[in-house]
Homo-oligomer: A and B are copies of this chain.
């Protein structure tokens, strides 16, 4: 190993959630150089004996303060431009996490100042390193995955209504969907959701049936987002 170029390897997390009908991204304010004081993706160095998914889960639980990641976590991509980190050659493995809106406040161990930021309020050049591009890739991946997977339910609590699921699609895609056609599509696609048997109470309007995530891993046929 002595004659191979030495790299540092990190994980960075694009953590998304839907709250108040807006798509939010988890950011931390950097407490150490470089880019001290700027907003960045949560992440950190991978341990020398640590597997990559383990490192991602560790960072996620540390930053969100949650014992168990209830949503979805998948590898997004690896970014390693030679000049992306002034400290040296750092390659980062980026991960995409989709979480339900957390009742727990965001306060991890080493994230003194972490915050949910609406993605509409992100401006180019705002984030440290190449995190702008990583976020853009994560958003595009999330939007695309809603089309052909049932992953929208990862943004929802264990039991949810069709309207909550529709709100996820509308928020992530930034479009409006017809409630009746959406209901037909969701309940008609086998394995998308399975009825929980119970219904909501106390809200406005007619009570809605509660559903859980179905066993399907893909949507056939896919839920296509409206064009333009």
Contacts and interface: CB of A to CB of B under 8 A. Distances in A.
Interface stretch (A85-93, A113-121, A156-164, A204-212): A85-93
Report copies per complex: 2
Interface in A69-116: 75, 77-82, 87-89, 91, 93
B78 A48 contact: no
B148 A80 contact: no
Given A51-B81, A221-B224, A222-B222, A5 B91 contact: no
Contact of A4 (B4, B8, B49): B8
Given A1-B87, A7-B6, A80 B46 contact: yes
Contact of A47 (B5, B50, B52, B78): B5
Q: Which of A4, A77, A91, A224 is the most central at the interface, judged by chain B CB atoms within 10 Å of its CB?
A: A4
Main SS class of interface, A: loop
A interface bracket (residues with beta carbon within 8 Å of B): 20 to 34
Q: Which of A9, A49, A51, A52 is the most central at the interface, judged by chain B CB atoms within 10 Å of its CB?
A: A9
Interface string A43-62: 00111111110000000000
A8 B224 CA distance: 41
Contacts of A5: 8-9, 45-48
Contacts of A50: 82
Nearest to A224: B221
Which 9 pairs, one residue from A and one from B, show the smallest C-beta to C-beta distance? A5-B48, A1-B88, A4-B8, A6-B6, A52-B80, A78-B78, A7-B9, A7-B7, A78-B93
